[in-house]
Amino acid sequence: MELREHLGLSFIDGEWVKGEGREVDNIDPGNLSLIGKFRECSSEQIRAAVDSAEEGFREMRKLTAKERSKILKSIAENVEKRFEEIARNLSQEGGKVLADAKYETMRCIQTFTIASEEAKRIEGEVLPMDAWDVPNISNRFGFTRREPVGIIAAIVPFNFPLLMPAHKIAPALAAGNSVVLKPSSDVPYSACKLFECMLDAGVPKKAINLVYGEGSTISEPLIGNKKVRMVVFTGSTATGKRIAEVAGRDAKKLSFEMGGKNPLIIFDDANLEDALAGALRGGYTHAGQVCIATGRILVHEKIYDEFLKKLVERASNRKVGYQLDANTEMGPLINKGRIDAVSAYVEEAREKGLKILCGGKRLSKNEVGYEGYYYAPTVIADVSQNDRIAKEEIFGPVLPVMRFSTIEEAIGIANSLPYGLSSAVYTQSMEKAFRCIEQLDSGGVSINDPTAIRADQAPFGGFKSSGLGREGLKYAIEEMTEIKMVYWKKYS
């Protein structure tokens, strides 16, 4: 079978199959052309995928650490062999600028490579049972082992259609689990290409299953399926809470990376050029459709006007265009629903009299050269804590800018929301930097770097309503394994 024929198919029980649910168009968001069509899965197909994963798990747990490591390394090599093709497809269907699509593809390769090493480092520990003089305990030999959880349901969003599946699947396979992946219906082909690379690498066919579907379709047959022992999810906090309710009925393990309203704090001693670069990267990479995008900029009052003037100038000059064009700096939003949501936030701000200093509108074909879901890079000034755009995740190219006068005020504003995913601080003062590190309620803090920074080998996740558990290969493997305690009586 030609590789192209797999695009839009599900992979269930070791076979590429056509979905039995509704037909969906795969649309290029940059020019609204039809890339192709695919069908979502029926509830029966999703149950079949879980049944297949049950068999696949029995195969996976028999593999040695060396065998799992070799497979994961081969997946990375297969993605690398098809680098240009995979990156270009990602860019086209996801609306991501080609350079960023290539960067994501590189990180996908890196993630599977790191996982191949971590597969050989899954260790238990020996416990000194004679450390305490407790009757009937001290004459035991005690040790722990880490064992795979079982079937893992992985639900991922549109914005990183290679990297997000990689961060779910790679550690799962490294630990000996099986996976049922449900990607976003906005980017179906990227998952197909990744599955081709995995199958060519020798992953047991029933250990990985690919299904498509929306909330009501997948909820009971996948998340509520008693055979599924863990759910890993990236997406909004609201969706995560609904998934947790279903998964909680069977006390499944959960690892969630959810919403954020990430603050970027700029003190008056900051390197302004670095701070501007961080704001632009954090606010406009992938048109702001990044979970660790900058959601609020807090600027010290002494440099507020100067920073704002330069930010508006650079945001206004940012080149918006078709994602595959070489000179494009920012591409489209993913779909009509997303651009409508962004527009609604900005229009509400306009109606309330907030200062929209640049952008604040959908871009026409005459302005971009293409009919697509394009929104202008937007800066909104003099925003207060009570404004909706300062409290809710916009997931678009909109930067609300606020002013502060003291470090206490900045930290208080940053911590005032129920989110805590990523924070960034620009300052030349070690004292301010360490105070922010200690007091900011977020899973990651960047000093003189953007909010939108992540290393694939590092722990990644949020505080409060931004997440449960941690990703990052070593840390994800810990989440995806169970600890078994063994007591061994040495003598009578």
Do 376 and 334 share a domain, yes or no? Answer: yes
How do residues 155-200 score in pLDDT, each as one tens digit? 999 999 999 999 999 999 999 999 999 999 999 999 999 999 999 9
Do 57 and 83 share a domain, yes or no? Answer: yes
Do 285 and 266 share a domain, yes or no? Answer: yes
Residue 47 has pLDDT above 60, yes or no: yes
Name the E strands within 330-377: 355-358
Q: Which helix (H) or strand (E) holds 351?
A: helix 336-351
Do 289 and 162 share a domain, yes or no? Answer: no
How do residues 18-30 score in pLDDT, each as one tens digit? 999 999 999 999 9
Do 58 and 87 share a domain, yes or no? Answer: yes
Q: Is 257 an active-site residue?
A: yes
Do 236 and 355 share a domain, yes or no? Answer: no
Residue 459 lies in a domain: no
194: tokens are 């990744």
Do 233 and 278 share a domain, yes or no? Answer: no
Give the CATH number, domain containing residue 229: 3.40.605.10
Residue 127 lies in a domain: yes
Q: Which of 291, 358, 393, 479 is catalytic?
A: 291
Residue 444 lies in a domain: yes
Residue 123 has pLDDT above 80, yes or no: yes
Residue 461 lies in a domain: no
Distance, in Å, from the CA atom of 85 to the CA atom of 96, rounded to the nearest integer, reads 14
Q: Across the strands, what pairs with 264?
A: 297, 424
Distance, in Å, from the CA atom of 393 to the CA atom of 395, rounded to the nearest integer, reads 6
Residue 397 lies in a domain: yes
Q: Is 291 an active-site residue?
A: yes
Give the CATH number, domain containing residue 415: 3.40.309.10
Looking at residue 220, the DSSP 8-state letter turns out to be: I
Residue 491 lies in a domain: no
Q: How confident is the model at residue 492 (pLDDT cuts 50, 70, 90)?
A: low
Residue 163 lies in a domain: yes
The pTM for the full model equals 0.96
Residue 145 lies in a domain: yes
Total domains in the fold of the chain: 2
Do 169 and 225 share a domain, yes or no? Answer: yes
Q: Which of 118, 196, 257, 393 is catalytic?
A: 257
Range of the domain at 405: 262-454
Do 252 and 325 share a domain, yes or no? Answer: no
Q: How confident is the model at residue 6 (pLDDT cuts 50, 70, 90)?
A: confident
Do 334 and 479 share a domain, yes or no? Answer: no
Do 377 and 472 share a domain, yes or no? Answer: no
Do 188 and 87 share a domain, yes or no? Answer: yes
